[in-house]
Structure 1
Amino acid sequence: MNAVIFLFFFAVNVQMLLSAEILAGIPWGIFQTLPAAYASEVCPVVLRPYLTTYINMCWVFGQFIAAGVNRGSFQRGDEWSYRIPFAVQWVWPLPILIGILFAPESPWWHVRRGDIAGAKRSLQRLTSPRDRDFDPDATIAMIQHTNELEKSLTAGTSYLDCFKGVNLRRTEIVCGIWIVQTLNGQNLMGYFAYFCVQAGLPEIHSFNLSLGQYALGVLGTIGSWFLMSAMGRRRIHLLGLSGLFTLLIITGSLSFAPSSNNSAKWAIGVMLMIFTFVYDITIGPVTYSLVSELSSTRLKAKTINLARAGYNISNIVVNVLTNYQLNDSAWNWGARSAYFWGGTCLVCLIWAFFRVPEPRGRTYEELDLLFERRVSARKFRTTEVDPYEGQVEVREDRVKE
């Protein structure tokens, strides 16, 4: 990234800029897929949702900083108005690189390669030596048992294995969860400043309000941590989609107000700010928790790679459609495009109701058996499993903590 930013900064034409974008896409693709897999493997079950959903907050922090940098350079009339935002990106890679050099490898990765000593060293680095209740050997035994269980349920770790047997369902769910992020209307959040300008607000103030929008996103992600301690991932996901669908219908309805009605235009902007908060307290962060928990440990990296590739492909389609919908010289739908995304959001809600299970409080061993026994997504929360006896007992009166 440090090298590619030079191309951005010194670009003299659109061809050079495009080349930089393509080259940057390679490390960006790696950055998009590795954190969820790594975070889910280096922390205990109780902390797993917090560390994985923190990824969403990092995205929001990045958007907030980008909006601030653009706000600061917006009024410049020279070449530095675009060179400064590129140059600011040099601030991040070096300290992140230094931190990664000291980060331990995943103990799950060591076990899958038969390096038990390496797994123990990683666990010792990931835990406090003052914690006398922690037994690294017992944890390694659990990891080994999970790994052997998955090997017995489905052999192989190639991309083709993601589409075989029970892994096909897990791949479908993980890919679907990430594609839901693009089809629920979240693309309209990126056009908040555009709607503010339409409402008659000066461009500089539109940037200021964008900072407030992303600040709400940060608060929403923090709020999701409290929600997850009281509610399951599945319930948050379904409630989030229901809320977004409602907001999209309201936003589309406001577009029928006369063009002279500035209050309706402001109301559209308010709806998008509320949409951002609802998205970042539900769908945005919980997606990272779900995709890291619902893929098998042996195929986690490959499943997440496939899911993120599906996300990026769908995002290309969604962004192209949104530009046609909002552009005055194209379809010129304006805020009525919210109806279209309300329809796709409803489809996502129906799919999630029948397909997205509840992984809250489950170990990877328990999840493996639940998928192997083809337990319905709606019964994941109330199904008892014993990974060491291989028995499954369904009890409708149980709430998993």
Structure 2
Amino acid sequence: MASEKLAMAEHVEKHDSITPEAEGHALPGHSDLKTSTEAHAAIENEHNMTPWQALKLYPKAVGWSLLLSCAIIMEGYDVVLIGSFFGFPAFNEKYGGLMSDGSYGLAAKWQAALTNSMSCGQIIGLFINGIVSERYGYRKTLMACLASTVAFIFILFFAPNVQTLVVGELLMGIPLGVYQTLTVTYASEVCPVALRAYLTTYVNLCWVFGQLIASGVLKGLADRTDEWAYRIPFSIQWVWPIPIFIGVYLAPESPWWLVRQDRREDAVKAVRRLTRADIQGFNPEETVSMIIYTNALEKRVQTGSSYLDCFKGTDLRRTEIACCVWAVQSLCGAGLMGYSTVFYQRAGLAISQSFTMSLAQYAIGVVGTVSSWVMMTYFGRRTLYVSGLVMLAVVLFVIGFVSIAPATSAISWATGSMLLVYTFVYDSTIGPVCFSLVSEMPSSRLRIKTVVLARNLYNVLNLVTGIIIPYMLNVDAWNWRGKSGFFWGALCVSCLVWSFFRLPEPKGRSYAELDVLFENKVRTRHFPAAKTGLVQDELKGEGSA
């Protein structure tokens, strides 16, 4: 049966087979025939596995993935914390100055500096992560970052001036950058195909949880006028690192990383720790053989493991897709969501009430992320992503046209309310689906580095948006306010055009199948129906002909 599957793979899209057995390419570990047979059996099992069956088989993997993904809560918390502090009286009196409208606030340049210093730190952390995690493993890298996070929070907590805050945010961004890639990569590598989309998009839910917690904390402290109004929110960040550190210490390493280190037996042990031992018909050896098979397949097509290899051959297309998918998150106007508090304050709401509305906004984000799991099950990633961009563009243009009217309390209310609609659409489509796509598009040997490049492109774009959005909204700068919707709406349409023509659908595909599809240069619109020759359902009829 295995030989028939390999023979049929040669007919995929009229290209030669790229299976590693072709042309005598050796597979590491067991004998070539045994490894190949076990690999195809594992691919077949994953292809036919339902989400419920996968959940019963991989409950431990789900638990470890959920725990490690909680590190992202810290990023979502810190991002909202800094953005919301711009509308926080006690913070503005300590670190800002008197504005032209008689209120205290930070100048646009310092708002941009605080926002962008974290992005700069994340860029540094991401590039370090791409090298260090591949050498020392995901667990050790994550534990080192959690320990450094505890130290960097001290700088933010005791910052005497805005300059020190900028330095603290820069350093804090380094471990946060590592969390961005390691958590989603770990989630994508410890779970089967049937659970991959849910566990990778859970990362977005953790990000929203961080936003929700930050908004709740700020609402509770909005009426305070002393230094603890902003020091308590900083100190709460010490809550996460220690329990997550303990969890990471106890968690198994990614079997994919262990295979890349030629540690087959350790990979088998890791798979056993990720699955239930009492499920009949499951063989950890087969799963590891599938990983070895995929790794050898990528070696067969000369997939390297350096940053430069991300831009060679078929990996160039995969890198483009991953990078652009994450860039869209920045280009579609998502940065405006962090400023809804400002719009509500301009509408005449009290400080506490404006934070209540922000709290509702992030609660809507939680509902949106959960609803994306249901929609992805039926519609897939591509459909949800493209349709999400259509709806976001409409919302942004509505915000723009509403703002043409003279500035009044009603206009600010309308703008802030449309941002609530924007949040729901974003967190049920673009936000969570992005995390699934960027982890599925790269080859396994280049996954961590491709995700690093994608996230760093996102961070670079955030540097730009972090500069221009404060100027768009600041009363002493451009003062565009709601008219910013026209600018971001136009960019959103551009993102929609790219996504329609370049974004493929990876739903239900194992990593080995995706390797075959990309190597055979399958067109975007043909991805859902294209045959790879790696699963039995595709060979029915052909094998008997």
TM range (shorter): over 0.9
> C-alpha separation between the residues in 2 aligned to 1:221 and 1:69?
22
Does the aligned pair in 2 maintain the 1:296–1:364 contact within 8 Å? yes
Partner of 1:257: 405
> C-alpha separation between the residues in 2 aligned to 1:175 and 1:379?
21
What is the CA distance between 1:156 and its match in structure 2? 1.8
> C-alpha separation between the residues in 2 aligned to 1:101 and 1:87?
24
Does the aligned pair in 2 maintain the 1:161–1:167 contact within 8 Å? yes
1:285 paired with 2:432, answer yes
Partner of 2:130: none
> C-alpha separation between the residues in 1 aligned to 2:380 and 2:481?
36
1:32 paired with 2:180, answer yes
Which residue, out of 289, 304, 319, partners 2:466? 319
Which residue, out of 273, 280, 285, partners 1:132? 280
Q: TM-score under structure 1 normalisation?
A: 0.95
The C-alpha deviation readout for 1:320-342, integer Å capped at 9, x for no partner, is 11111111222111101000000
Unpaired runs of at least 5, structure 2: 1-148, 540-545
1:223 paired with 2:371, answer yes
Partner of 1:50: 198
Name the amino acid aligned to 2:157. Answer: F
Name the amino acid aligned to 1:353. Answer: F
Does the aligned pair in 1 maintain the 2:396–2:489 contact within 8 Å? yes
> C-alpha separation between the residues in 2 aligned to 1:47 and 1:317?
35
Name the amino acid aligned to 1:44. Answer: P
1:103 paired with 2:254, answer no
What is the CA distance between 1:388 and its match in structure 2? 8.3
Which residue, out of 502, 523, 526, partners 1:379? 526
Name the amino acid aligned to 1:275. Answer: Y
RMSD: 1.5
**Does the residue aligned with 1:360 lie in a helix, a strand or coil?**
coil
Tell me which of the two structures has the higher relative contact order, counting C-alpha pairs closer than 8 angstroms and 6 or more residues apart.
2
**Does the residue aligned with 1:47 lie in a helix, a strand or coil?**
helix
**Does the residue aligned with 1:2 lie in a helix, a strand or coil?**
helix
Partner of 1:157: 305
Deviates more, 1:354-363 or 1:8-17: 8-17
1:361 paired with 2:508, answer yes
What is the CA distance between 1:354 and its match in structure 2? 0.8
Which residue, out of 387, 390, 412, partners 1:242? 390
Does the aligned pair in 2 maintain the 1:369–1:387 contact within 8 Å? no
1:82 paired with 2:217, answer no
1:2 paired with 2:181, answer no
The C-alpha deviation readout for 1:110-158, integer Å capped at 9, x for no partner, is 1111111000000000001121221111111111111111111124211
Change beyond 3 A, Cα 1:187–1:116: same
Does the aligned pair in 2 maintain the 1:252–1:336 contact within 8 Å? yes
Which residue, out of 322, 328, 352, partners 2:499? 352
What is the CA distance between 1:12 and its match in structure 2? 2.1
For these two proteins, the number of residue pairs brought into alignment is: 390
The C-alpha deviation readout for 1:93-122, integer Å capped at 9, x for no partner, is 001101111111011111111111000000
> C-alpha separation between the residues in 2 aligned to 1:232 and 1:383?
16
> C-alpha separation between the residues in 2 aligned to 1:271 and 1:17?
32
> C-alpha separation between the residues in 2 aligned to 1:259 and 1:299?
50
Deviates more, 1:149-158 or 1:286-295: 149-158
Change beyond 3 A, Cα 1:217–1:306: same
The C-alpha deviation readout for 1:21-62, integer Å capped at 9, x for no partner, is 222121111111111111000001000000000000000000
Partner of 2:5: none
1:110-189 to 2 correspondence within 5 Å?
Answer: 110-189=258-337
Name the amino acid aligned to 1:211. Answer: L
1:304 paired with 2:451, answer yes
Q: Among the aligned pairs, what percent are the same residue?
A: 53
Q: TM-score under structure 2 normalisation?
A: 0.70
Unpaired runs of at least 5, structure 1: 393-401
Partner of 2:361: 213
Partner of 1:399: none
Name the amino acid aligned to 1:291. Answer: V
What is the CA distance between 1:258 and its match in structure 2? 2.8
Change beyond 3 A, Cα 1:14–1:197: closer
> C-alpha separation between the residues in 2 aligned to 1:79 and 1:199?
27
**Does the residue aligned with 2:193 lie in a helix, a strand or coil?**
coil
Change beyond 3 A, Cα 1:155–1:224: closer
Would you identify which runs of 4 or more consecutive aligned residues in structure 1 move more than 6 Å?
none
What is the CA distance between 1:230 and its match in structure 2? 0.5
**Bigger radius of gyration:** 2
